Amino acid sequence: MAIPLRKPNEIEKLRTASQAVAKTLKYLEENIKAGMTLIEVNEMGEKCLEELGARPAFKGLYGFPAGVCTSLNEVIIHGIPDNTVLKEGDILGLDIGSEIDGWYGDAAITMPIGKISKEDEDLIACSKDALYHAISIIKEGMRFKELSKEIENFIVDRGYQPLVRFCGHGIGKRPHGEPEIPNYVDTPNLKSGPKIKNGMVFCIEPMICQNSREPVILENDWDVVSEDGLRGSHYEHTVAVIDGKAVILSQVEE
């Protein structure tokens, strides 16, 4: 399947949807506190999206029951909100999708709950720094496999492992599409597969494990943890390739 090349007006529609996600993540980051439940976090996020004119795109997607993925501590991605109470020292991943006028936005952060350990600060920094490193090196003509290898090298150089079998993705009039963008490569040939072109819009999302990159899906069929059982982290942005480089659509524009 060909990767769509978006016209400038289509990129603006994707930017609008992505801005709703960015503002909601900022609101949650500033207002989530120890003592809240994950269900309360989800309700805050869904309400914020709706007040911004967006539909919570994850709610009902593939059967997911909520608008916000709340991935706590060992859960790296796809955490289902429940009555778990946040406490000081936790780390919480928030992944949000939006839809406005048929166009989608998607982004994620991992945030501290109160004061956290230096170990967890470093863990969060790896996913965030890997994301911004990837965005900074994107250029027209680069192959997606080359980008995946750069992300993998960055994560491993920091002493961590990328989660396997989950990946970044294209986005547009559907929340997920071509290309798939893993945070690792499983082939020595980086000069195969599609090239990055102007007009492409996609999501990059480093997912970080500590020792084992192998995923385990928990009994609720959603929460994804590492085989090592240790804490993980996750960051994501929606980007568009404009004039040969990546422009972030899902960060709050002043």
Domain ranges of the chain: 8-248
Q: Which two tokens stand for residue 103?
A: 């166009």
> Which residues touch 7 (CB under 8 Å, ≥6 apart)?
199
Share of the chain above pLDDT 90, in %: 98
- List CB contacts of 216: < 8 A, sequence separation 6 or more: 224, 225, 226, 227
DSSP alpha helix (H) spans, the chain? 8-31, 38-51, 118-137, 144-157
Instruction: Calculate mean pLDDT across residues 78-82.
Output: 98
pLDDT for residue 249:
98
Mean pLDDT of the chain: 97
Query: What's the pLDDT at 169?
Result: 98
Position 19 scores a pLDDT of 98
Residues 131-190: tens digit of each pLDDT: 999 999 999 999 999 999 999 999 999 999 999 999 999 999 999 999 999 999 998 899
- For residue 253, what pLDDT is reported? 85
**Beta bridge pairs of residue 225:** 75, 216
Cα→Cα distances 58→3, 25, 81, 212, Å: 22, 14, 12, 28
Q: What is the CATH number assigned to the segment(s) 8-248?
A: 3.90.230.10
Q: Where are the alpha helices (DSSP H) in 67-209?
A: 118-137, 144-157
The DSSP 8-state label assigned to residue 3 in this structure reads P
- Please check whether residue 73 is in contact with residue 29, taking contact to mean a CB–CB distance below 8 angstroms: no
For the chain, the distance separating the N- and C-terminal CA atoms, rounded to the nearest angstrom, is 36
d(CA 139, CA 147): 10
Contact 49, 107 (CB under 8 A): no
Distance in angstroms (rounded) separating the CA atoms of residues 19 and 38: 23
Q: Rounded to the nearest 10 degrees, what angle do helices 144-157 and 118-137 cross at?
A: 150
Quick one: average pLDDT of 208-217? 98
Angle between helices 8-31 and 38-51 (to 10 degrees): 140
Return the percent helix, strand and coil in the chain, to nearest 5: 30, 30, 40
Name the pLDDT band for 1 (thresholds 50, 70, 90): low
pLDDT of residue 36: 98
Q: Tell me the average pLDDT across 227-246.
A: 98
Burial of 130 (0-12, 13-18, 19+ CB in 10 A): buried
